[in-house]
Structure 1
């Protein structure tokens, strides 16, 4: 995964993974998944402010409406149900990002604060955690057995 691949589509994928986890009986998604979601939301919104073209503030405003008031606004109502809504997302970032639309000093604060956000790293950490939970794939198990010459050599 690269920085260029982080987008609102990544948020959608994480939301779909959340849905799958709930269908499988998980009561609460992992902190790594919540952190990844928050990092992606911050990065894909704030990067519009630093794009440098004349319409960056308008694009930022539109992204805030879609991501923070839309997706995350709906999530706020379900935070107790163990979903992607986290303290980091809802109380550390949401109000400040929404205020950054109208106030330049808040906008500068958000830009500075977001320098420490690395969505790629957060998503990769979440994926590593999930891969560890799953254990080795069937092919990895077979390869290990072949390597250790465990297979029966008949016929």
Structure 2
């Protein structure tokens, strides 16, 4: 039997663990994973990135891109309503945040964001009704787009948008979406294997295991070789 652990499965397990981003990045560079990356690993990486955004309370257009990629990977034929809501809320925050930046040209940056995000990026989604990305377009997204267009020409709409806590709205729905996505994914294969090996060693007194669950996996592999 080939006792080698699949590097992609090891990396997926690592990225699902509550370790610091710096350490996760170092391990990502150190673990030799072949290209192309598996959809499951890419999904894990994107969720890890969004979870990091959430922990740092940082919503950006990078978050928007991660949500688009997750939809492309796993929800083209099975639209997630929570993903749609998260995408809309993140897009709104990515735009409205410029009204609160404190820069002298807040309105100019806001207008630029409306053009970049809503007139270009989301316009392409709306226009692609029959394409894969159409699943991200919701009634809420269309309403938000109209609100952004009105805000460009009406300072009262901009003021109302500035007073809204769009960041908290985005963080809240993003947290709900991530919980849903992680639950749908289930535990990584290595965690299932680790739990099995851990239980096996503790039920069989003839085997002695030191360390934690991953040590149990390593020892099990050595026995099977």
TM range (shorter): 0.7 to 0.9
**Pairing 1:142–2:193 present:** yes
**Pairing 1:56–2:109 present:** no
The 1-side partners of 2:174 and 2:138 are apart by 15
Shift of 1:35: 0.9
The 2-side partners of 1:61 and 1:20 are apart by 31
CA RMSD of aligned residues (A): 2.4
Q: Quote the residue 1:13 is aligned against.
A: 66
Structure with the bigger RCO (C-alpha within 8 Å, sep 6+) is: 1
How many residues get paired?
Answer: 150
Q: Quote the residue 2:141 is aligned against.
A: 89
TM-score by length of structure 2 reads: 0.59
Larger helix proportion, structure 1 or 2? 2
Shift of 1:52: 1.6
Measured at CA, do residues 16 and 63 of structure 1 come closer, stay the same or move farther in structure 2, by a change above 3 Å?
same
Gaps of 5+ in 2: 1-53, 208-219
Structure with the greater alpha carbon radius of gyration: 2
Provide runs of 4+ in structure 1 moved above 6 Å: none
Gaps of 5+ in 1: none
Q: Deviations over 1:123-147 (max 9, x none)?
A: 2222221111121111221232234
**Pairing 1:43–2:96 present:** no
The match for 1:119 among 140, 159, 170 is 170
TM-score by length of structure 1 reads: 0.83
Contact 1:64 1:97 in 2 (8 A): yes
